[in-house]
Amino acid sequence: MGSRRRFLQVVGGAGLALAGCRARERETGAAAQSTPTSATSAPPVQSDRVVIVRDPSAVRGTTISADKVAAMVDRAMAELTPAAQAKAAWEALFRPDDVVAVKVNCLAGPPLSSHPEVATAVARALAEHVGTRPANILVYDRDGGELQAAGFDRSGGAAYVCRGTDEVGYDAEPTTVGSAGSCYSRIISEQATALVNVPVLKDHDLAGLSGALKNHFGSIHNPNKLHTDHCTPYVVDVNCAPFIKDKHRLVVYDGLLACYDGGPGYKPTTTVPYGAIMVAVDPVAADVVAFEIIERLRKEHGLPPIAGSEREPKYLRVAADAEHGLGTGDRNRIDVREIALG
């Protein structure tokens, strides 16, 4: 990568959030490859579609059924393509030689982290349907200790490699996009050619929603500097960096447990077993539907809506505008498919 400073769009004040960036020795591992412009000749996925598969029996307290989660992921992926086959969807999005980084979210600790059963289902589907080697599936978050606490297999014998960015390092120099200047995890800037985003379905006490777009605050060195103005436009600018925007392929929302108030930390009184897996190609559309679910849960539990309050996730509109083009923010243009299992 060298030590040059990368500027994609310079905006006054962008350098304010750069303190604390540091480089570490690059670890050996899966070699970085060029980002594919097209995966295969498989039938295209439906880019305007969000698929929600629910199976209440997949969650018993805080115990998750790995077999049922795998079936939910498989069923949801099948609905993304006209072929109605999970294999077709995976092949349309990934190549066998991709190095796939799977961004999980372990900030809240168990049980409100991305569940290892979801990451394992993704890894095994990549292996079965695409032919991705386990060594080329990199499950990551900011901290190896948090991954360990959330139950991810760090032994090296799993269906994936599990790494914390604290072990691999951040870029030596920041990348500035819009108002956000950050050093990105070297897992995504140097190693990965494709990204799978595995956020948790939960409220955020400042940003309104801690979902797919905000999940990548765990891919940068300085998220604490980017929470002013309810994280807008910083969430959007972080996702516009090429390491994310150009490599993003899929969102697999972990809605097995859902927190409708008091997030992003685990709040047992406002966390419910929701029993859902939600998949989409479009991260903005996925977040729009996720926010709709959070609002529905709030109404069911007698809480006021977030929409219209100061913490409404306004970054969703910014992400969908013509300037940023990260996805579809208009709910009327999103094709939502809901499927019940169990």
How many separate domains does the chain show?
1
In SS3 terms, 155-188 reads as CCCCCCEEEEHHHHCECCCCEEECCEEECEEHHH
Average pLDDT over residues 188-194: 98
Distance of CA 111 to the CA centre of its chain: 17
Residue 342 confidence (pLDDT):
77
CATH of residue 335? 3.40.50.11440
- Whether pLDDT at 125 is above 60: yes
Q: What is the largest CA-CA distance in the chain?
A: 54
Residue 96, in any domain of the structure: yes
Residue 180 confidence (pLDDT):
95
Average pLDDT over residues 270-274: 97
Residue 29 confidence (pLDDT):
35
Residues 220-248 as b or e (16 or more Cβ within 10 Å = b):
bbbbebbeeebbbbbbbbbbbbebbbebb
Tally of residues, the chain: 342
Residue 61 confidence (pLDDT):
87
Residue 41 confidence (pLDDT):
52
Which secondary-structure segment (H or E) carries 97? Answer: none
Residue 135, in any domain of the structure: yes
Which secondary-structure segment (H or E) carries 64? Answer: strand 63-64
For residues 261 and 204, what is the distance between their CA atoms, to the nearest angstrom? 7
Percent of the chain's residues with pLDDT above 70:
87
Residue 17, in any domain of the structure: no
Domain encompassing residue 335: 39-340
Which secondary-structure segment (H or E) carries 53? Answer: strand 49-54
- Whether pLDDT at 77 is above 80: yes
